[in-house]
A and B are shown apart, each in its own frame.
Chain A
C-alpha cells in the first residue's frame, strides 16, 4: 500500500472520530439551557447501544463495519452489511434516547417532587435523553450513508452474478457475542427498573411492569407476528411489538380520557399507567427480541414497512409522553366542581 493511501486512511479516521467529537463538544458548549450534562442518559444510551449491536451482529460484522467506516475497502456484500449495521446503530440510538425520556418521565412521577415548576424542569432533563439519542443517531448514520454511496458506485460497474456453485455455509459464531449483548441489555433494563426515585413512594418498576399491559403487548405481538409471517425470525415481531404497543397505549389513552370526562382520577391514573407500561413493554420487546432477530436475518424483504416502524414508533411514543404530561398537569375536577 502506498504512502499516500496510508495518509488518506489516517485523514479518514481522523474525520470519522474527530467530527462526531467536535459535534458533541459544540452542542454541549453552545446550549443555553441550564441542564447539566446527564451521566445517567449517557450511560443508558452508550451501554444500550453496545448491547444491542452485540445482540444483532456478529463480532466479525462489527469489525468489518468499523473498518469500512475507517476507510478500508471491503467486498460489496460486506459493504451492504456494513451500511445496514450503521443504519441499525442509528436506529438503536434513537430508540434508546426516547426510552430514556420515558424512564425520566416515570421517575419524576414516582418521586412526586417539585410542584409544577420542578416537574417541568425534571421533564426537560428527561428530554435530554432524546437529544443525546438523536445526536448519536446523526453521527452513526453518516457511515451508513457513506457505505450506501460506495455500494451505489460499485454496483454501477459490477457484473458478477450469482454462480451456480455449491453454497458456502455461513460460518457459525457470534453466539457468545449475542449472549453477552443480551446480558448487558438485561442488566440495563434491571438498572432502569430498580433505580430508586428521589424519595418517592413508588419505584419505576411499579409503573413499568403493569402485568395487564405486558400480557396484552406480548400476546398481541406474538399474534401479529404469527399472522404476518410464517417465521418469527424476520421483521414480523418488529411489526408485532410496535403495533401491539401502540394498540395498548391507545387503549390506555382512551381509558384516561374517559376518566377525564367522568372526573375520575382513578380511571385517569389507570389509563396512564397502562399507556406507559405498554410503551415500555413494546420498547423492551423490540429492543431485546424483535430488532436483534431482524438484524441477524439477511432477509431484507419488507424493509420499507420496517423503516416506518423504526422511526415512527419512537415519535409516536414521544407524542404519547407529551399527552401523559398534559394529563398529569391539567387538573381534572376544576370545571366540574
Chain B
C-alpha cells in the first residue's frame, strides 16, 4: 500500500478506523468525563475583560456585554437598596412583642436572681381556711435564722418559728384551699399555706420551677410590671407584680387556672405582699 496520493484527512480517517477498538472502554469513559468537565468549566468561566469591553469575535453578539453590565448594575442597585432599607428599618424599629416576650423572661430571671441573693424579707399573706374564714400571716426572715411567723385567725394571734428551707414541692400546685399536701404531718398543717414564702430563696425556688411566663395585658406601669406564671399540671395561676427599680416582687397572688381574662376582676385564692426594707419586728429566736 502506498502513502502517496493520500491526503492528511484520509490518513487521519484511516488511523481512526484502524485503532478504533484499541481504546479500552474505561479510558474512553474517563476521557469523556474529563472533556465534559472541561467544557462545563469553560462555559462557566467568567468573560474576560476583552469580552466585557466589546465584541471581539463574531460569535459574541454586540448587545451581550451591555445586557451583562445592565444585569450586574441592577443586582448592585438591589443590593444597595436592601442594605440601606435594612439599616433604616433597624434604626427605626420599635420594640415588638418579641422584645416584650424576651423582657418578660429577663424580668423573671432578674427577680429570681435578686431573690436568691436577698438576705432578709418580710411579707404579709392573707388566705382563707377550709371554712372560708380569713387567716393573716406575717412572716419575717433573715438569712441564717428561722423564719418568724405571726398568725392571726379566728383562733386568735400566735407567733411560731419555722425552718426557712427551700421546698421540694409547692403548695401552689394543689387545688386551693381544699387541697392538702400529700404526706404532710398534722403538726405541720399550719405551715402549708406559707411554706413557699418562709424565705426569699424559697420564693425564688417557687419561681424557678417548671413555669410558663406570660404577660398581663394592661399591667405595664412606669415603676412596676406584672407577669403570670402557669404550669401545665397546676390548677392555679400566679400573678407576680415586680418593682422595676429593685427587681424584687411587690406582691404575688394565686388564682384558679380557669380565671382567664377575668383574672384581675376575680378575687385571689390567697395573696402575698412583700416588704424588702429592714424587718419592722425584731426577730426573737426560740
B34 within 8 A of A: yes
The reply to whether B96 and A211 form a contact with Cβ atoms under 8 Å apart is no
Name the residue among B38, B101, B104 with the largest chain A CB count within 10 angstroms.
Answer: B101
Closest A residue to B29 by beta carbon equals A75
Stretch from B3-11, B155-163, B205-213, B254-262 at the A interface: B205-213
Contacts of B81 in A (CB 8 A): 219
Question: A320: shortest Cβ distance to chain B, in Å?
Answer: 16
Within 8 A of B (CB), among A55-78: 75-78
B46 within 8 A of A: yes
Within 8 A of A (CB), among B81-96: 81-87, 89-90, 93, 95-96
The contact of B30 among A160, A213, A214, by CB within 8 Å, is A160
The reply to whether B35 and A165 form a contact with Cβ atoms under 8 Å apart is yes
The reply to whether B99 and A270 form a contact with Cβ atoms under 8 Å apart is yes
The reply to whether A215 and B89 form a contact with Cβ atoms under 8 Å apart is yes
Stretch from A26-34, A45-53, A230-238 at the B interface: A230-238
The reply to whether A229 and B46 form a contact with Cβ atoms under 8 Å apart is yes
The contact of A226 among B26, B76, B211, B213, by CB within 8 Å, is B76
The contact of B34 among A77, A118, A198, A226, by CB within 8 Å, is A77
The reply to whether A117 and B76 form a contact with Cβ atoms under 8 Å apart is no
The contact of B44 among A75, A200, A206, A298, by CB within 8 Å, is A298
A39 within 8 A of B: no
B278 within 8 A of A: no
Within 8 A of B (CB), among A108-127: 109-118
The reply to whether A298 and B37 form a contact with Cβ atoms under 8 Å apart is yes
Closest B residue to A252 by beta carbon equals B90
B182 within 8 A of A: no
Within 8 A of A (CB), among B102-121: 102-110, 112-114, 117
Closest B residue to A213 by beta carbon equals B86
Contacts of B215 in A (CB 8 A): 201
Contacts of A265 in B (CB 8 A): 99, 102-103, 106-107
The reply to whether B30 and A77 form a contact with Cβ atoms under 8 Å apart is yes
The contact of B33 among A78, A167, A220, A329, by CB within 8 Å, is A78
B39 within 8 A of A: yes
A170 within 8 A of B: yes
Name 11 extra pairs, CB < 8 A, besides A116-B109, A219-B80.
A78-B29, A113-B210, A115-B211, A158-B30, A162-B34, A214-B86, A215-B86, A218-B82, A219-B82, A223-B80, A334-B247
- Listed in ascending order, the chain B residues whose CB lies under 8 Å from chain A are 26-27, 29-42, 44-47, 72, 75-76, 78-87, 89-90, 93, 95-99, 101-110, 112-114, 117, 207-215, 245-247
Going nearest first, the 5 A-B pairs with the smallest beta carbon separation are: A77-B33, A219-B82, A215-B86, A269-B102, A331-B110
